[in-house]
Amino acid sequence: MYDGFWLNLGISPGFNRSLSKRKETMRKLVSVGLLVLCGVIWPSTVLATSQWARKYKAECSLCHQGFPRLNSFGEEFMRNGYQVPGDMDGAITGKTKIGERLSLDNVTDILGLRLNITPVSAHVSSRTVVYGNPNWLQFFVAGAITKNISIFIENEITTSGAHFSWYKFGFHNLFGTKALNVTIGNLSPLDHSSFSNRLRIIPPEQNEFFGIKPSRGKGEASVNASSARPGAMLYGDLGKVTYYAGLSSGVVTPTSNDTLNTWLGVRYNIDVKPIDGTNFSVTYYEGTDVKNGGKDSQVDNNFRWVIPAFNLRAGQLDLQAAARVGHEDNYLLVGNNVKSDGFLGYGFTVSYMLNNRWQPAVLYDNIVSGNIVGTGKEWLTGALTYFPVDNIRFGGFYKRDIEDNGKNDKVYCNIRVMF
C-alpha cells in the first residue's frame, strides 16, 4: 500500500535497500524514540522547559513566540545577560548562597537539551524518501554565572560527530549602564539586528541569502553573514537605539588570515502600541578572504556587504524581512586577471500565532544571479506548526523551487523538543 502511495507521487521510496541499511534505519528510529521518551519522562523532575523557565518559574511564552523564536522581552533578557530586563539579578535569582562571595545555580537551571528530528522527507529531484533522520542533539549550558556575567555554550551531536557551535562569555552593564556590554567567543555579527537568521520563526528553514560566502566559499576564511565565528562584540542600548560593533579573525582559530573582519550596526526599537517590539536595523560588514594565507603566494579577496532589516511585531503577527547587498574585489581568489562583482539577496519570513498551538508561516527567499553566486535561486516555503505543549513543536513544510520550476521541491516534517 505504501509503495503504491509514494509511486503515485512519482517518488521511489527505495524499500529494496540492503539489510544493513534497514538495521541502520531501525537504530536511528530507536534512538529517536528513546530521546523523545526522555522528554516525556523528564518533565516530572525538571518541568521539561528551558532552564530559564525553570529558574524563574515562568512559562516559555514569557520569552518566546513559538520557541525558539524570541519575543521582544526575550531579546531584552538575552541582551541583559540572561537577567530580568532592567535588573541585575544574576547573583540572586535561583542561587544557593555558599559563602559571602559565592552563590551557585542548581544544575538544572543552567543545563538545557534540544532535539531535532526529521521523521520523513521527500525530495523531488532525487525521487527519494528519507525516514527517521535524527538531525542533532544539542546540550547547552547557559545563563548568568553571577551578576552581569553570562555564558552560552552549545555542543551539537550528530551521527557524524560533535562540535561546539555557539560558545561565548558576556560581560554586561559595564560601569552600571546598559549602554556597555561585551561578548567574547563564537558569536554572530547579526545577534542584535532585526533579522539575525538565528532562533528562527520556522526552524529548520532559513533564508538562504544569509549563507552566501565570499570567494564562492573556496577561501581559507570564507564566512557567511550570520553563522558563529570567533570574535568579540561591543553592544548597548541607548534609549530606543541599540548599537553593536565587532571584530573577528575569520571562521576558525587560529587562522592564516592576518586581516580582521569588522562590523558595525544600529537598530531602532519602536515601543508604540499595537506594534511595540517592532524594530529595524542596518549592518555593515567588511573583511578579507585568503588563499595560501601566510605565504609569499597569498592572495586576498576584500569583501563587504550591507544588510538592512526590518521586524514587524503586531500582536500575534511576526514578520522579518532583510536584504543583503555584497561586493567582492577578487571573487575568484586569483593572482592574475582579478575580477570583482556584486550580488543581491533578499527575503522574508512571516507567521501568525492563531492560538497557543497553531502557527502558519511563509518564507520567501531570492538570490539574484551573479558571477559570485553562479546562478539565481528563488524559493517559497509554506509551513504549519503545531505546539502540543510550549516546548515541543511539530512542523510540516513544503519548499517550492521557483527558479527551476519545482525541480528541487521538498516536502518534510520536523520535530523539535526543548527541555
Task: Give residue limits of the domains in the chain.
Answer: 51-418
What cell was used for 149?
Answer: 556575567
Q: What is the pTM of this model?
A: 0.85
Which residue type is seen at 41? I
- pLDDT tens sequence for the chain (419 residues): 444 434 444 444 444 444 445 545 454 444 445 444 444 444 443 344 578 888 888 888 888 888 889 999 999 999 999 998 888 887 788 778 888 788 888 888 888 899 999 999 998 877 889 888 889 999 889 998 989 999 999 999 988 888 888 899 999 999 999 999 999 999 999 999 999 999 999 999 999 999 999 998 898 889 999 999 999 999 999 999 999 999 998 777 666 667 889 999 999 999 999 999 999 999 999 999 998 877 878 899 999 999 999 999 999 999 999 999 999 999 999 988 899 999 999 999 999 999 999 999 999 999 986 777 766 789 999 999 999 999 999 999 999 999 888 788 999 999 999 88
Q: Please give the Cα distance from 404 to 419 (Å, whole number).
A: 40
Q: Please give the Cα distance from 383 to 363 (Å, whole number).
A: 8
Cα distances (angstroms) measured from residue 361 to each of 71, 159, 356, 400, 405: 16, 30, 14, 14, 22
Q: Please give the Cα distance from 343 to 218 (Å, whole number).
A: 17
With the C-alpha atoms ordered 45, 49, 54, 58, is the resulting torsion angle positive or negative? negative
Helix (H, G, I), strand (E, B) or coil at 143: strand
Residues 6 or more apart whose Cβ sits within 8 Å of residue 16: none
Query: Which H/E stretch holds residue 70?
Result: none
> Facing residues of 310 across strands?
280, 321
Q: What is the pLDDT of residue 255?
A: 61
Hey, what's the torsion of the CAs at 195, 200, 203, 208, to 10 degrees? 10
Q: What is the pLDDT of residue 102?
A: 83
**Which residue is it, cell 529558574?**
55
Q: What is the pLDDT of residue 15?
A: 41
Residue 23: alpha-carbon gap to chain centroid: 33
Cα distances (angstroms) measured from residue 33 to each of 17, 117, 130, 267, 327: 22, 10, 17, 43, 47
Q: Please give the Cα distance from 291 to 333 (Å, whole number).
A: 7
Instruction: Report the candidate in 140, 142, 197, 188 with the shortest Cα–Cα distance to residue 164.
Output: 140
Residue 40: alpha-carbon gap to chain centroid: 26
What cell was used for 173?
Answer: 552593564
Per CATH, the homologous superfamily of domain 51-418 is Porin (2.40.160.10)
Helix (H, G, I), strand (E, B) or coil at 293: coil
Number of other residues whose CB lies within 10 A of the CB of residue 228: 20
Cα distances (angstroms) measured from residue 213 to each of 186, 308, 324: 18, 18, 12
